A and B are shown apart, each in its own frame.
Chain A
Amino acid sequence: MSGSKPDILWAPHHVDRFVVCDSELSLYHIDSAVSSELKAGSLRLSEETTATLLSINSDTPYMKCVAWYPKYDPECLLAVGQANGRVVLTSLGQDHNSKCKDLIGKEFVPKHARQCNTLAWNPLDSNWLAAGLDKHRADFSVLIWDISSKYAPETAVATEKVRLSSGDAEAGLVVTKPLYELGQNDACLSLCWLPRDQKLLLAGMHRNLAIFDLRNTSQKIFVNTKAVQGVTVDPYFHDRVASFYEGQVAIWDLRKFEKPVLTLTEQPKPLTKVAWCPTRTGLLATLTRDSNIIRLYDMQHTPTPIGDETEPTIIERSVQPCENYIASFAWHPTSQNRMVVVTPNRTMSDFTVFERISLAWSPVTSLMWACGRHLYECTEEGKASSLEKDIATKMRLRALSRYGLDTEQVWRNHLLAGNEDPQLKSLWYTLHFMKQYTEDMDQKLSGNKGPLVYAGIKSIVKSSLGTTENLRHSRSGSDRQADIIQYLSEERSLALQLCGWIKKGTDLDVEPFLNSLEQEGDWERAAAVALFNLDIRRAIQILNKGASSGKGDLNLNVVAMALSGYTDEKNSLWREMCSTLRLQLNNPYLCAMFAFLTSESGSYDGVLYENNVAVRDRVAFACKFLNDAQLNRFIEKLTNEMKDAGNLEGILLTGLTKDGVDLMESYVDRTGDVQTASYCMLQGSPSEVLKDERVQYWIENYRNLLDAWRFWHKRAEFDIHRSKLDPSSKPLAQVFVSCNFCGKSISYSCSAIPHQGRGFSQYGVSGSPTKSKVTSCPGCRKPLPRCALCLINMGTPVSSCPGGSKSDEKVDLSKDKKLAQFNNWFTWCHNCRHGGHAGHMLSWFRDHTECPVSACSCKCMQLDTTGNLIPAETVQA
Chain B
Amino acid sequence: MELHILEHRLRVASIAKESIQLFTYGLIKLAFLSSKTRCKFFSLTETPEDYTIIVDEEGFLELPSSEHLSVADATWLALNVVSGGGGFSGSQPIGVTKIAKSVIAPLADQNISVFMLSTYQTDFILVRERDLPFVMHTLAAEFTILRVVNGETVAADDLGITNGFVKPKLVQRPVIHPLSSPSNMFCVTSLDPDTLPTVATLLMDVMFYSNGVKESVVGNEDSGHIRFFSFSLIEGYISLVMDVQTQQRFPNNLLFTSASGELWKMVRIGGQPLGFDECGIVAQISEPLAAADIPAYYISTFKFDHALVPEENINGVVNALQVSQAEKH
- Which of B87, B123, B154, B252 is the one whose CB lies under 8 Å from A137? B123
Question: Roughly how many angstroms separate A115 CA and B192 CA in the complex, as a whole number?
Answer: 7
- What are 24 A-B contacts defined by CB distance under 8 Å? A2-B194, A84-B253, A111-B258, A111-B260, A112-B257, A112-B259, A113-B190, A114-B121, A135-B237, A136-B120, A137-B95, A137-B120, A137-B123, A138-B95, A138-B295, A158-B259, A161-B261, A163-B263, A165-B257, A166-B253, A218-B86, A219-B86, A224-B152, A225-B152
Give residues in B with beta carbon < 8 Å to A: 4, 81-83, 85-88, 92, 94-95, 118-123, 146, 148, 150-154, 187, 190, 192, 194-195, 237, 252-253, 255-263, 295
CA A780 to CA B223, docked complex, whole Å: 101
A186 vs B153: C-alpha distance when bound (angstroms): 14
Closest 4 CB pairs of A and B: A138-B94, A113-B256, A164-B257, A164-B261
Interface membership of chain A positions 56-86, coded 1 if the CB is closer than 8 angstroms to chain B and 0 otherwise: 0000001000000000000000000001110
- Partner pick for B85 among A83, A85, A158, A219, CB 8 A cutoff: A219
A136-B121, A137-B123 known; A162 vs B194 contact (CB < 8 Å): no
Docked complex Cα distance between A186 and B253 (Å) = 23
Whether A110 sits at the interface, judged by CB under 8 Å, is yes
Inter-subunit contact A176/B259 (CB<8 Å):
yes
Look across to chain B and name the residue whose beta carbon is closest to the beta carbon of A217: B88
Contact B82 A165 (CB under 8 A): no
Interface residues of A in 402-429 (CB under 8 A from B): none
The reply to whether the CB of A289 lies closer than 8 angstroms to some CB of chain B is no
Contacts of B119 in A (CB 8 A): 137
- In the docked arrangement, what's the CA distance between A111 and B263, Å? 14
Contacts of A186 in B (CB 8 A): 82-83
In the complex, the answer to whether A161 meets B95 with C-beta atoms within 8 Å is no
Q: With both chains docked as a complex, state the minimum distance between the C-beta of A851 and any C-beta of chain B, in angstroms.
A: 57
* A163–B261 CB distance below 8 A: yes
Quick check: A109 and B190 within 8 Å, CB to CB? no
User: Residue A181 at the B interface, CB < 8 A?
Assistant: yes
Query: Taking each of A113, A158, A208, A220, which has the highest tally of chain B beta carbons within 10 Å of its own beta carbon?
Result: A113
- Give residues 81-122 of A contacting B (CB, 8 Å): 83-85, 109-115
Contact A226 B152 (CB under 8 A): yes
Closest to A2 in B: B194
Question: Within the complex, what minimum Cβ distance (angstroms) separates A220 from chain B?
Answer: 5
A112-B120, A137-B119, A218-B88 given; name 20 further pairs at CB < 8 Å.
Answer: A110-B259, A113-B258, A113-B259, A114-B190, A115-B192, A135-B237, A137-B120, A137-B121, A138-B94, A161-B260, A162-B259, A163-B263, A164-B261, A166-B252, A176-B259, A184-B88, A207-B151, A218-B85, A222-B85, A224-B153
| Complex Cα gap A226–B152 (Å) | 6
B256 and A84: CB pair below 8 A?
yes
Residues of B within 8 A of A219 (CB): 85-86
Whether, in the assembled complex, A7 has its beta carbon less than 8 Å from a beta carbon of chain B, the answer is no
Given A135-B122, A207-B148, the answer on whether A109 and B259 have CB atoms closer than 8 Å is yes
Complex Cα distance, B113 from A848, in Å, reads 91
| Residues on the B chain within 8 Å of A208, using CB | 153
User: In the complex, which residue of chain A has the Cβ closest to the Cβ of B93?
Assistant: A138
Q: Which residue of A lies closest to B91 (CB)?
A: A138
Q: Is B262's CB under 8 angstroms from A137's CB?
A: no
The answer, yes or no, to whether A185 is at the interface (CB within 8 Å) is: yes
Task: List the interface of chain A (C-beta within 8 A of B).
Answer: 2, 4, 62, 83-85, 109-115, 134-138, 157-158, 161-166, 176, 181, 184-187, 207-208, 217-220, 222, 224-226
Report Cα–Cα, A67/B18, bound state, in Å.
52
A181 touching B192, Cβ below 8 Å: no
Cα of A137 to Cα of B83 in the assembled complex, Å: 10
Q: Which residue of A lies closest to B263 (CB)?
A: A163
Distance between Cα atoms of A467 and B123 in the complex (Å): 103
Chain B residues with Cβ below 8 Å from A157 are 260
* Distance A163 CA – B189 CA, assembled complex (angstroms): 14
Contact A185 B83 (CB under 8 A): yes
Docked pose: A114 CA to B252 CA in angstroms: 15
- B contact residues around A138 at 8 Å (CB): 92, 94-95, 295
Contacts of A226 in B (CB 8 A): 150-152
Q: B192, A62: Cβ atoms under 8 Å?
A: yes
Residue numbers in A under 8 Å from B123 (CB-CB): 137
**With A and B bound together, what is the CA distance between A176 and B258 in angstroms?**
11
Residue of B nearest to A62 (CB): B192
Task: Report Cα–Cα, A163/B82, bound state, in Å.
Answer: 30
Contact A137 B256 (CB under 8 A): no
Assess the A134–B260 pair: CB atoms within 8 A.
Answer: no
Among A4, A135, A218, point to the contact of B121 (Cβ < 8 A).
Answer: A135
How many angstroms between the C-alpha atoms of A110 and B146 in the bound complex?
30
Quick check: B82 and A185 within 8 Å, CB to CB? yes
Q: Which partner residue on chain A sits nearest B4 by CB separation?
A: A207
Enumerate chain B residues within 8 angstroms of A4, measured Cβ to Cβ.
Answer: 194
Q: Tell me which residues across on chain B come within 8 A of A222, comparing CB atoms.
A: 85
User: Which chain A positions have C-beta within 8 A of B261?
Assistant: 161-165
Chain B min CB distance to A259 (Å): 11
Q: How far is the CA of A166 from the CA of B248 in the complex (A)?
A: 13
Tell me the complex Cα distance, A155–B48, Å.
Answer: 38
Residues in B neighbouring A185, C-beta threshold 8 A? 81-83, 122
Q: Is the CB of A162 within 8 A of B148?
A: no
User: CA–CA, A187 to B151, complex, Å?
Assistant: 15
Residue of B with least CB distance to A83: B192
Chain B positions within 8 Å of A220 at CB level: 85
Q: With contacts A176-B259, A224-B154 known, is A83 near B88, CB below 8 A?
A: no
Cβ contact of B87, chosen from A84, A109, A184, A207, cutoff 8 A: A184
Query: How many whole Å from A429's CB to the nearest CB in chain B?
Result: 74
A112 to B295, CA, bound (A): 15
Contacts known (A181-B88, A207-B151); A137 close to B122, Cβ less than 8 A: yes
Q: A137-B94, A138-B295, A186-B82 are in contact. Are A112 and B256 (CB under 8 A)?
A: yes
For residue A187, which residues in chain B have a CB less than 8 angstroms away from its CB? Answer: 121
> B118 to A137, Cβ gap below 8 A?
yes
Provide the residues of chain B in CB contact with A62, threshold 8 Å. 192
Q: What residues of chain A lie closer than 8 Å to B121, measured between beta carbons? A: 114, 134-137, 187
A158 to B146, CA, bound (A): 38
Q: Residues of B contacting A166 with CB < 8 Å?
A: 252-253
- In the assembly, what is the distance between CA of A4 and CA of B92, in Å? 38
- In the complex, how many angstroms separate the beta carbon of B178 from the nearest chain A beta carbon? 28
Residues of A within 8 A of B258 (CB): 111-113, 164
Q: Tell me which residues across on chain B come within 8 A of A165, comparing CB atoms.
A: 257, 259, 261
Q: Which residues of A sit under 8 angstroms from B153, Cβ to Cβ? A: 207-208, 224
Q: Which residues of A contact B154 (CB under 8 A)?
A: 224
A524 to chain B, nearest CB (A): 86
Residue from A114, A158, A184, A225 within 8 A of B260 (CB atoms)? A158
A161 and B262 contacting across the interface, CB-CB below 8 Å:
yes
CA distance A421 to B194 in the complex (A): 82
Residue of A nearest to B191 (CB): A83
A143 to B165 Cα, complex, angstroms:
43
Contacts of A225 in B (CB 8 A): 152
Chain A residues contacting B152 (CB-CB under 8 Å) are 207, 224-226
The residue on B at minimum CB distance from A186 is B82
Within the complex, the shortest CB–CB distance from A819 to chain B, in Å, comes to 70
Q: Most B CB atoms within 10 A — which of A137, A187, A217?
A: A137
Instruction: Please report the C-alpha to C-alpha distance between residue A219 and residue B84 in the assembled complex, in whole angstroms.
Output: 10
A166 to B257, CA, bound (A): 11
Please give the distance in Å from A251's CB to the nearest CB on chain B.
17
Which of B148, B187, B257 has the largest count of A CB atoms less than 10 A from its CB? Answer: B257
Residue of A nearest to B92 (CB): A138
Q: B192 to chain A: which residues have CB within 8 Å?
A: 2, 62, 83-84, 115
- Which B residues touch A184, using CB under 8 A? 83, 87-88, 92
Q: Please, which residues of chain B bring their CB within 8 A of the CB of A162?
A: 259-261
Inter-chain contact B259/A134, CB cutoff 8 Å: no
Residues from chain A with Cβ under 8 Å of B150 in the complex: 226
- Highest count of chain A CB atoms <10 Å: which of B81, B122, B260, B295: B260
A contact residues around B148 at 8 Å (CB): 207
Residues of B near A158 (CB, < 8 A) are 259-260
Q: Please give, as numbers and ranges, the residues of chain B lying within 8 Å of A163 by CB-CB distance.
A: 261, 263
**Considering only CB atoms, which chain B residue lies closest to A168 in the complex?**
B259
